Amino acid sequence: MSKVGIVTGGGSGLGQSTALRLAKEGVNIVIVDVDEEGGNETVEILKEAGVDALFVKADVSNAEDVKNYVDQTVEKFGTIDYFFNNAGISGSGKYFLETDISEIEKIVGINLLGVLYGIRYVAEVMVKNGGGSIVNTASSAGVIGQDTVVTYSATKHGIVGLTKSLVAEYAKDGLRINSVAPGPTETPMVKSYFEANPKMKESAESGIPQKRLGTPEEVAELVTFLLTGKAEYINGEVIRIDGGFTNTKF
């Protein structure tokens, strides 16, 4: 019987690439995104790849929207085996004291509350059904401090703590919960950030020992490994995928 996965932020970037990689493993997938066009596009590609797929529009910062995408997944497929808890935004790139309160609230709502809500409802299904695997998207900014992304960094540090603490509570119930911490990666979100802050791209590339940005496909390979049975004894880890970027900082 085919496994079932949910991918939030699946309309582009890391979410889309991971969904397509999971399809190669025969996983049926529910794509969650606020972007209908991108989400439906991913679903069409997945169906062409031979798996069943469903798009659910959701604002992950809204708990009712989150409950709805979980309910729709269970209604269609009966269970949830894998969850890539990935949706997020970066922000304007302003220094913290110049950042509007509304932006702070939006970033925290999507990046941290959205991840918490997702696990709250997905893990409930997984525990009831005997277990499952979750991967959260943290960031290099979740393991070191970085300027111009203070609120974003705070949310990603929160995801790291969430990952470790949930394992302490629910590993005994069959849950595996890990996080990936990508460095600067060629996603639409990062490209938009660098377009608004061009000096940051030069700084990022020069600060990465491998002298290039990562690709969504590279992150997708790691996420797929962590989600599937190939990583059964990896639990509570935050795995950096950043070309050595964070290893050179502290």
Rounded to whole angstroms, the Cα distance separating 209 from 157 reads 23
Rounded to whole angstroms, the Cα distance separating 68 from 103 reads 25
Residue 250 has pLDDT above 60, yes or no: no
The single residue of 152, 170, 193, 233 carrying the catalytic annotation is 152
- Check which CATH number belongs to the domain holding 128 and give it: 3.40.50.720
Digit-coded pLDDT (tens) for 46-104: 999 999 999 999 999 999 999 999 999 999 999 999 999 999 999 998 999 999 999 99
Token duo for residue 27:
């996983």
User: Phi/psi of residue 22, each to 5°?
Assistant: -65, -35
Sign of CA dihedral 210, 216, 217, 221: positive
How sure is the predictor about 227, in pLDDT bands with cuts at 50, 70 and 90? Answer: very high
- What is the per-residue pLDDT for 27? 98
- What is the per-residue pLDDT for 38? 98
C-beta separation of 39 from 57 below 8 A: yes
Neighbours of 100 (CB within 10 A): 10
* Higher pLDDT pick, 186 / 189: 186
- What is the per-residue pLDDT for 81? 98
C-beta separation of 49 from 26 below 8 A: no
User: Phi/psi of residue 51, each to 5°?
Assistant: -110, 165
Digit-coded pLDDT (tens) for 139-167: 999 999 988 999 999 999 999 999 999 99
- Amino acid in the structure at residue 156: K
* Higher pLDDT pick, 206 / 123: 123
Rounded to whole angstroms, the Cα distance separating 185 from 183 reads 6
Residue 197 has pLDDT above 70, yes or no: no
Digit-coded pLDDT (tens) for 210-221: 988 899 999 999
Q: Give the residues across from 238 on adjacent strands.
A: 179
Sign of CA dihedral 177, 14, 31, 86: positive
What is the percentage of the chain residues whose pLDDT exceeds 90? 84
Concerning whether 152 is annotated as a catalytic residue, the answer is yes
- What is the per-residue pLDDT for 185? 87
In this prediction, residues 99-127 reach a mean pLDDT of 98
Rounded to whole angstroms, the Cα distance separating 139 from 180 reads 7
Mean pLDDT estimate for the chain: 94
C-beta separation of 200 from 93 below 8 A: yes
Domain that holds residue 182: 4-248
Confidence (pTM): 0.94
In the chain, the number of structural domains is: 1
